[in-house]
Structure 1
Amino acid sequence: MPRWLIPLLLLLAGALFPLALAPFFWWPLGLVSLAVLMAALQHNHTPRQAFVYTWLFSFAKFAVGVSWIYVSIHRFGGTPAPLAVLMVALFAGFLAIFPALVFALRQHLFGQTLAWLTLPVFWFLYEWLRGNFLTGFPWLFAGDAHLHSWLAGWAPIIGSYGISVLLVLSVTLLLEVWQRRCYALLAGLLVWPAGALLQPLEWTHITGSLNVSAVQGNIPQNLKWRPEMMDPTIGIYYDQTSQHWDSDLILWPETAVTKLLDQFRPAMNEIAAEALEHNTTVITGIAYRYPRGHELAGEFHNSIVAFGAGAGIYHKQQLVPFGEFVPFEQQIRGLIPFFDLEMSSFRHGPADQPLLKAAKGADTFLVAPFICYEIAYPQLVSRMAQQADFLVTVSNDAWFGDSLGPKQHMALAQMRALETGRWLLRATNTGITALVDHKGRLLERLPYEQRGTLSGSAEMRHGSTPYMQLGVWPLAIFSLLILGLAGWRRRRSQSFTEL
């Protein structure tokens, strides 16, 4: 193959990768995409070559997969289109550095020794690093493409990280069989039918049920934060809510109320009294400001508050860079309008916050809340779900229009429900508002960009899936064993060469 053709194939393969994910779920294309990258990495000879190959693939993957960021930068951030395109390209190029460095390190340490095993291990290390470094960006994981395939049966056991490993291992096994005719390795592909056999298993048990509703206000993003819209917005959500007092829990979206909590409290107390009469818990996203006299007076949180028959407040832990806080704020504030978006100076919430409470008669259920981007974090959701009966997530994906972003976001919420064996209710401003069962199946959803309320009956569940109990430790131990074996094989090979 001509050398100039390899970069083009890698760019094409990377661009195909997002088609394996939501909303398409053409996961066979993901196998083809990964096969091109893995084949290239198995035939490179230097760390520099591994870096370049991986960077090209990953740049195309992120340029297509996170292209939805353009909508928020240009349409709502006021950035000129050419500059917005450049910013998306720079972001994709920056994200591509992570896998490029990881696979360059693999080449430096192990060369092609046991490449069919070390490549899946380093893919796991790369996804874990990207999901945790600084604030993390746990998006476009390979395993998330398999919400509906046989491999989905592994999600409650090893999570989406583990499915990524099985996926890449399947590809490298096939390449190894093709190149070396080691047909015994095909036994490794039994993980696919094994996943199908695992799907019917119930890892959690029912503790009760709640009639739930989620309100989709559909407030245009360019009007949402105007002062004259504050009271009308509350009126919209109250009117929708008052039609569903037969629900045990009613969920409003992220920052559904554009007043601060202390400003909203008089109206909230009135709604809470009415909700309590109907034994209903209302949960809404709202901004919280520390009061005067507090050491953090004037500082803000992006929060969720429960009132009526339930109670509790939660402050968002994982904030979106540039959306909810601005890194290097003093240096870049004011450079372009995008760095001065409304409500982009939030504080991180603490990790040890109590769960929200929802009531049904004499029973009280614990609700694990997640705000927007947080639902993408497998380990955060797994930890908070340990004591929870139910998951709720609120978002305002209107920032991204009807692009790939909201669909990918919804699928991530479904994967978290599958990993934890919990039902999940999602409320958004413009969509996707939905109810998801403990198998990750989307049961009900509202049409995009329409005002309405979704209602249904949700199971409350308790118990822990293996993934909730063990997290990524099995993958970490597997990785250490493979790396130890590969290191031993490489040293042994070098010793024979010296002789």
Structure 2
Amino acid sequence: MQSSKWLALVALLSGLCIPLALAPFNFWPLIFVGVAGFFWLSFRAASARQALWLGWLFGVSQYGLGVSWIYSSMQTVDTPIWLGVLLTAGFCLALALLPLFQLWFFQRFLRRLPLALMLIAPLWWVVNEWVREWLFTGMPWLFAGYALSDTPMAQNAALFGVYGLSLMVAVISAGMLRVGYRLQRQQRRSAQITALSVVGLLGLSTLVGLVQPASDWTQATGTLKVAAIQSNVDQRRKWTSAQQQPTLDFYSQVLRDLPDIDLMLWPEAAMTLRPEQIPTYMADLQRLGTERDMALLTGVVTLDAGRYYNAILGYGMASGEYRKQHLVPFGEYLPLEKYLRGTIAFFDLPTSVMYPAAQPQRPIRAELNGQPYFIAPVICYEATYPDLVRRLARDSDLIAVISNDAWFGDSIAPHQHLQITRMRAIENGRDLLRATQNGVSALIDADGRVLQHSEQFVAAKLTGELTLRTGLTPFQRLPSAFIPWLCLSLLIVLSLMARRKNRPLAAD
């Protein structure tokens, strides 16, 4: 009984280490502790039933803190406290089923394979992160690789993406655990060799990041004077008729205040009126942008053939429309609309009737001094999908991300979202401009460094220079799922080989 309580405590503490290693806490060394703790539990679970329990506890603490912002999103539309708590708890408990399955499957089928700790466990960790990207439309949040964002090791994402970083974290964590095992068995020589290997991997990845940052894979072709605009409109008022004119007036004033800008970016659904409802206003944007040789991108809601789209439109020296491809379930569409519509205010918002783009989307074309350049447009949650951004950024000179993080209030989500967005800049070796409704807006260079950022809950006009870049990083040359597919393939091959030899071995 005492042992079971100790294992349960380790599961809870290890799960907490994952979000604590990420923004806004940024205690990044804890990511190795959390992943190593999960691996330790995978081997200590004495039965499939105990593995289910420990995996679920790990997930409860991981997601209980890591996605606690779900409650804040409910409160932006005044959902009753009891209902917000109930829905948030239900969501976190459901997500905890993912590490439950991960630990149970490892305990049941993988832990006695050859190299179970140093190879099988890290491969299986990455496969499960990848599953979270697409299962039930996806929840690509809290990946281990994001914890390295503020270290030189993050630059390796230009080589193999965030999944490659997660694999590196998992291998190092497994090595740390193996050192502990060897010391416990008084096998000092083996422990020393493993420790040197771990330090060597840390040192090598750090050295590669320092010597070959992401920006070295691409070539600068020019600079732009850019502006990211943050309106700070309260989410409760945003879609009201009383807020429509003040919103238009705010952006008109921004244009008067910033006459000397090459590219201006407004947030997601910056104006709640559709373009055809304010034709004179939009015509003025086009005229002013053309006169100033300025490209303007703004988030809007468009209507086509009776369907609403969350979109980005280009004005002035930018042209074209980008429609959001990956919608947020329950936020932009209702999976069970017939049953949920009308139950609570959260499900009756104007934004919960959107449709995804019917066709693959292309970068937006812009011009400066008669020369064309291309912008990879990304809307909010799409920034969490590596391959979606990769496909757009391959043919672009700059990445532009618009978002409405006002949904999350004063929670950890806006900081997590910014950290995730920074990784997209590194993977693609492209500078990135980010405009949000109430923060955090930012100018980010190709190495993922935040050059400027806004404070939250204030109106802001971030201005500065970003670099246009061409060329491909190694990450862009292959699908972002290349690392997970490689991990899954190795797992299958190793499992078949072990079965064929009929010689399952102990974990360590």
TM-score class, shorter: over 0.9
> Which residue, 472, 480, 484 being the options, matches 2:493?
484
Structure 1 unmatched runs, 5+: 291-296
Which one-letter code corresponds to 1:223 in the other structure?
R
Greater length-normalized contact order (CA 8 Å, ≥ 6 residues apart): 2
- For 2:369, the equivalent position in structure 1 comes to 361
Q: How does 1:191-270 map to 2 (within 5 A)?
A: 191-199=201-209, 200-201=211-212, 202-270=216-284
CA-to-aligned-CA distance 1:192-225 (integer Å, 9 cap, x gap): 2222222232111112211101111111222111
Detail structure 1 runs of 4+ shifted over 6 Å in the superposition. Answer: none
Q: Which amino acid aligns with 1:472?
A: A
Which residue matches 1:97? 97
Q: Kindly indicate whether residue 429 of structure 2 is the aligned counterpart of residue 421 of structure 1.
A: yes
Indicate conservation of the 8 Å contact 1:159/1:419, yes or no.
yes
TM-score (norm 1): 0.94
Cα distance, 1:226 vs. partner? Answer: 0.9
Shift of 1:338: 2.0
Q: Deviations over 1:116-161 (max 9, x none)?
A: 1111111111110111123211111111111012421321111111
Q: C-alpha deviations, 1:15-49, integer Å up to 9, x for none?
A: 23211001121011222222222111112243333
1:319-367 Cα deviation digits (max 9, x unpaired): 1111111111112212222222232110011452221122110211100
Alignment of 1:40 with 2:41, yes or no, is yes
Aligned to 2:352, what secondary structure does the other structure show? coil
**Cα drift, residue 252 of structure 1:** 0.4
Q: Contact 1:390–1:460 (CA<8 Å) still a contact in 2?
A: yes
State the partner residue of 2:481.
Answer: 472
- Are 2:64 and 1:63 equivalent residues in the alignment? yes
SS at match of 1:453: strand
Contact 1:393 1:424 in 2 (8 A): yes
Q: Does 2:297 align with 1:283? A: yes
Equivalent residues in 2 for 1:111-130 (5 A)?
Answer: 111-113=111-113, 114-116=115-117, 117-130=119-132
The 2-side partners of 1:134 and 1:260 are apart by 31
- Match for residue 136 of structure 2? 134
Query: 1:13 matched to which residue of 2?
Result: 14
Identity %: 36
5 Å-filtered alignment, 1:232-381, equals 232-290=246-304, 297-381=305-389
- Structure 2 CA distance for partners of 1:316 and 1:494, relative to 1, 3 Å: same
Change (3 A) 1:261 1:103: farther
- Counterpart for residue 144 of structure 1: 146
Closer/same/farther in 2, CA of residues 486 and 244 from structure 1, 3 Å limit: same
CA contact (8 A) 1:415 1:440 kept: yes
Query: For residue 294 of structure 1, what is the aligned residue in structure 2?
Result: none
Q: Which runs of 5+ in 2 are unaligned?
A: none
Indicate yes or no: 2:446 matched with 1:438: yes
Look up the match of 2:399. Answer: 391
1:244 Cα deviation from its structure 2 partner: 1.5
For residues 427-464 of structure 1, give each alpha carbon's deviation from its aligned partner in whole angstroms, at most 9, with x where no partner exists. Answer: 01111111000000000112221112111111001111
Instruction: Say whether the 8 Å CA contact 2:58–2:99 is kept in structure 1.
Output: no
Partner of 2:455: 447
SS at match of 1:213: strand
- Compute the displacement of 1:12 (Å): 2.3
* Structure 1 counterpart of 2:178: 176
Matched residues in 1 for 2:488 and 2:306: separation? 46
SS of 1:403's equivalent in the other structure is coil
Give the 3 Å change call, closer, same or farther, for CA 222–77 of structure 1 in structure 2. closer
Deviates more, 1:169-178 or 1:433-442: 169-178
Superposed displacement of residue 5, structure 1: 2.1
C-alpha distance in structure 1 between counterparts of 2:81 and 2:417, whole Å: 24
- Number of equivalent positions: 490
| 3-state SS of paired residue (1:71) | helix
| Separation of aligned partners in 1, 2:501 and 2:221 | 56
SS in 1 for 2:272: strand
Residues 25 and 146 in structure 1, CA contact (< 8 A), matched pair in contact too: no
Please give the per-residue CA displacement for 1:70-128, whole angstroms capped at 9, x wherever unaligned.
1111x223321122112111111111212322332233322332321111111111110
CA contact (8 A) 1:393 1:427 kept: yes
C-alpha separation in 2, matches of 1:452 and 1:275: 20
For residue 410 of structure 2, give the secondary structure of its aligned residue in structure 1.
coil
